[in-house]
């Protein structure tokens, strides 16, 4: 036995002996006679050595955490699962059984899955940081021929700060990148931002979950969420066992937010004894695509201030703005700061992500949240939770840096960057209009324009026979309609019931992300399906 192995074995034996002694001492204190110990160890042994046929699983559907069982997430729910099955069948047997040869995933805002090209500069920098040997002097000529000088410089700068992308970083996120985020916020809003108040995250999702976990002190806590809402919120509330306090958006008024809705929903919840602590605003909206006016945002801030409520501003679609003159994006941080010192104490968390906008780097899992007006001791606790997860992934953090510090006018990469961003933006805008026109042309369907985000949320009025058929199949009517749409056209959308909707109304959510060159064909498929569906059930 080698010396080290011998020493290792010895310390293991000592540790084992020590733990046996400790457990004997513990058992003595709990009044179990050491003589009985052998019996206890023996019965444990018997339990562990149950035969295969009598072994009962520790983890069953009945015994696991019940809050996990309550979680629902329709964006990747039944429709998405069925879509995957169809894809597999198409790959195995071809399109024979179906009237289409591809599944189009409009159920999720995942632009690159639907062939949106990545931003070249971002990938160049990502590539150089992943494989730093490319930056060695001996590779210089080849790399200079392939990469623009500003991408090389940015990669060098980042690597100087980070070391290796394979190393854990600061738990709150790389300080250099947080400084860039703070600078971006300052330039966007015209008000100061402190890098110590920024937490980098794995997409906005983990940020939202960490903040909700912080707020939900017990199961009597209520969190105000919009209806319809993005189900990250309802799912996280189920997971942490808190109470959703729904407030309804006004479909007739372009999914606007009426303060009287907030007030009545809050007072109902407080009457029931709920400790309502936070209000979630998704702006621009998902699934509803509306952008709030500045005046409306001031009212919301005033409501939170008066009612002593924390504001969570989900602003991941802040650059997906399709009516920039009538409905520009304003951040809650900016509006709050512009309202003067009366509101200085308001507690605000603002979320952003690399998954959306024209970037669409969903798979990189990059994001951040900014804390405004949050108590220092509370921030320390958030930091502790971030530390337990060690750090957000470093390539995702790099993508955040690129998002907040993209090429500027005069930089080598600026012309290409600008061309790519505006071509994606213009195309998204055209597609949003085309799809909303299509939906509005269908019998019994109405659809509000997307002022922002990546989705349309049309309302469908279904024939009585279709509602009966849905009931017979054990489905919600909108779920039934969406399943038929998937089976007939290969287009996968999400039923409105996955987001919440006014009772007695039915909707579905579709992204407008399918590639533009396929868009006419895609619209045609939907049009034919809807006509045939109505003919079948009318
Ligand atoms: N907030 C909103 C409003 C979102 O729509 C999403 C993602 C997120 C947060 C979280 O995104 P990341 O974690 O990737 O930053 N939207 C989902 C959706 O509805 N479709 O695709 C994903």
Domain borders along the chain are 3-54, 69-115+418-537, 189-404
Q: Which of 111, 234, 235, 286 for a ligand 1 pocket mutation test, highest count of atoms within 8 Å of Cβ? A: 286
Confidence of residue 77 (pLDDT cuts 50, 70, 90): confident
Q: Kindly tell me if the per-residue pLDDT of 299 is higher than 70.
A: yes
H/E stretch holding 435: helix 414-441
Q: Which of 203, 204, 392 for a ligand 1 pocket mutation test, highest count of atoms within 8 Å of Cβ? A: 204
Q: Kindly tell me if the per-residue pLDDT of 538 is higher than 90.
A: no
Q: Which residues line ligand 1 (CB under 6 A)?
A: 75, 108-110, 203-205, 230, 232, 282, 286, 314, 316, 353, 355, 362, 367
Q: What is the pTM of this model?
A: 0.88
Ligand 1 mean position, distance from CA 289 (Å): 13
What pLDDT does 65 receive? 87
Closest ligand 1 atom to residue 107 Cα is 20
Average pLDDT value for residue range 42-55 = 63
Q: Kindly tell me if the per-residue pLDDT of 47 is higher than 60.
A: no
Average pLDDT value for residue range 385-407 = 96
| Closest by Cα among 482, 486, 487 to 470 | 482
Q: Kindly tell me if the per-residue pLDDT of 199 is higher than 70.
A: yes
Ligand 1 mean position, distance from CA 450 (Å): 16
Q: CATH assignment of 189-404, given 1.10.287.1080, 3.40.640.10, 2.60.120.10, 3.40.50.1820?
A: 3.40.640.10
| Closest by Cα among 429, 454, 416, 409 to 122 | 416
Whole-number Cα distances in Å, 413 to 155, 168, 364, 416: 14, 30, 22, 6
Out of 41-50, 189-198, 290-299, least confident range? 41-50
* Three-class secondary structure assignment of 303-372: HHHHHCCEEEEECCCCCCECCCCCCCCCCHHHHHHHCCHHHCCCCEEEEEECCCCCCCCHHHCCEEEEEE
Q: Which of 316, 317, 329 for a ligand 1 pocket mutation test, highest count of atoms within 8 Å of Cβ? A: 316
Ligand 1 mean position, distance from CA 10 (Å): 52
Q: For residue 442, how many C-alpha atoms fall within 13 Å in the half-sphere facing its CB?
A: 27
Ligand 1 mean position, distance from CA 242 (Å): 21
Q: Are 183 and 404 in contact (CB under 8 A)?
A: yes
Ligand 1 mean position, distance from CA 205 (Å): 7
Q: Kindly tell me if the per-residue pLDDT of 42 is higher than 70.
A: no
Closest ligand 1 atom to residue 231 Cα is 19
Q: What percentage of the chain carries pLDDT values higher than 70?
A: 91
Average pLDDT value for residue range 439-463 = 96
User: How far apart are alpha carbons 431 and 425 in whole angstroms?
Assistant: 10
**Helix 376-388, helix 203-215: angle, nearest 10:** 130
Q: Kindly tell me if the per-residue pLDDT of 294 is higher than 80.
A: yes
Whole-number Cα distances in Å, 440 to 336, 437, 454, 477: 37, 5, 17, 20
User: How far apart are alpha carbons 255 and 16 in whole angstroms?
Assistant: 64
Q: Kindly tell me if the per-residue pLDDT of 298 is higher than 90.
A: yes
What pLDDT does 54 receive? 85
Ligand 1 mean position, distance from CA 347 (Å): 23
Ligand 1 mean position, distance from CA 228 (Å): 14
What pLDDT does 101 receive? 87
Confidence of residue 203 (pLDDT cuts 50, 70, 90): very high
Q: Kindly tell me if the per-residue pLDDT of 501 is higher than 70.
A: yes
Average pLDDT in the chain: 90
Confidence of residue 46 (pLDDT cuts 50, 70, 90): low
What pLDDT does 75 receive? 67
Q: CATH assignment of 69-115+418-537, given 3.40.50.2000, 3.90.550.10, 3.30.420.10, 3.90.1150.10?
A: 3.90.1150.10
The answer for residues whose C-beta is within 8 angstroms of residue 387's C-beta and 6 or more apart is 171
């Amino acid at each position: 036995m080698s010396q080290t192995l011998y020493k290792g074995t010895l310390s293991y034996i000592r540790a084992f002996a020590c733990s046996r002694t400790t457990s004997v001492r513990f058992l003595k204190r709990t009044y179990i006679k050491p003589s009985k110990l052998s019996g206890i160890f023996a019965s444990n042994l018997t339990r562990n050595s149950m035969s295969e046929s009598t072994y009962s699983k520790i983890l069953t559907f009945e015994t696991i955490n019940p809050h996990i069982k309550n979680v629902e997430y329709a964006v990747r729910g039944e429709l998405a699962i069925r879509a995957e099955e169809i894809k597999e069948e198409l790959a195995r047997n071809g399109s024979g059984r179906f009237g289409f040869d591809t599944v189009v995933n409009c159920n999720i805002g995942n632009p690159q899955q639907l062939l949106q090209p990545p931003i070249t500069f971002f990938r160049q920098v990502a590539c150089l940081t992943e494989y730093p040997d490319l930056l060695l002097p001996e590779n210089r000529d080849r790399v200079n021929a392939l990469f623009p000088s500003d991408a090389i410089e940015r990669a060098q700068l980042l690597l100087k700060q980070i070391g290796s992308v394979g190393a854990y970083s600061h738990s709150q996120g790389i300080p250099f990148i947080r400084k860039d985020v703070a600078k971006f916020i300052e330039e966007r809003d015209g008000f100061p931002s402190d890098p110590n108040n920024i937490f980098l995250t794995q997409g906005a999702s983990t940020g939202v979950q960490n903040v909700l976990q912080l707020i939900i002190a017990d199961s009597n806590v209520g969190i105000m969420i919009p209806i319809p809402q993005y189900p990250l919120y309802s799912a996280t509330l189920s997971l942490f066992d808190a109470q959703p306090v729904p407030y309804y958006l006004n479909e007739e008024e372009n999914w606007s937010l009426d303060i009287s809705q907030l007030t009545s929903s809050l007072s109902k919840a407080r009457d029931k004894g709920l400790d309502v602590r936070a209000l979630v605003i998704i702006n621009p909206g998902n699934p509803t695509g509306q952008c709030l006016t500045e005046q409306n945002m001031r009212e919301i801030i005033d409501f939170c201030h008066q009612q002593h409520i924390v504001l969570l501003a989900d602003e991941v679609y802040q650059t997906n703005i399709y009516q920039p003159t009538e409905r520009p994006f304003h951040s809650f941080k900016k509006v709050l700061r512009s309202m003067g010192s009366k509101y200085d104490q308001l507690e605000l968390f603002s979320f952003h992500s690399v998954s959306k906008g024209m970037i669409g780097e969903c798979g990189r899992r990059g994001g951040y949240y900014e804390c405004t007006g949050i108590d220092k001791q509370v921030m320390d606790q958030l930091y502790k939770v971030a530390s337990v997860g060690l750090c957000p992934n470093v390539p995702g953090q790099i993508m955040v840096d690129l998002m907040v510090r993209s090429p500027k006018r005069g930089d080598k990469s600026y012309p290409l960057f600008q061309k790519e961003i505006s071509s994606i933006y213009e195309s998204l805008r055209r597609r949003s209009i085309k799809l909303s026109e299509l939906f509005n042309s269908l019998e019994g369907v109405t659809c509000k324009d997307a002022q922002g985000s990546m989705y349309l949320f049309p309302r469908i009025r279904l024939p009585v026979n279709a509602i009966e058929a849905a009931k017979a199949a054990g489905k919600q009517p909108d779920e039934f309609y969406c399943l038929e749409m998937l089976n007939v056209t290969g287009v996968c959308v999400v039923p409105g019931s996955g987001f919440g909707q006014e009772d007695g109304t039915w909707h579905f959510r579709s992204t407008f992300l399918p590639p533009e060159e396929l868009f006419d064909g895609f619209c045609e498929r939907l049009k034919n399906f809807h006509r045939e569906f109505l003919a079948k059930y009318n």
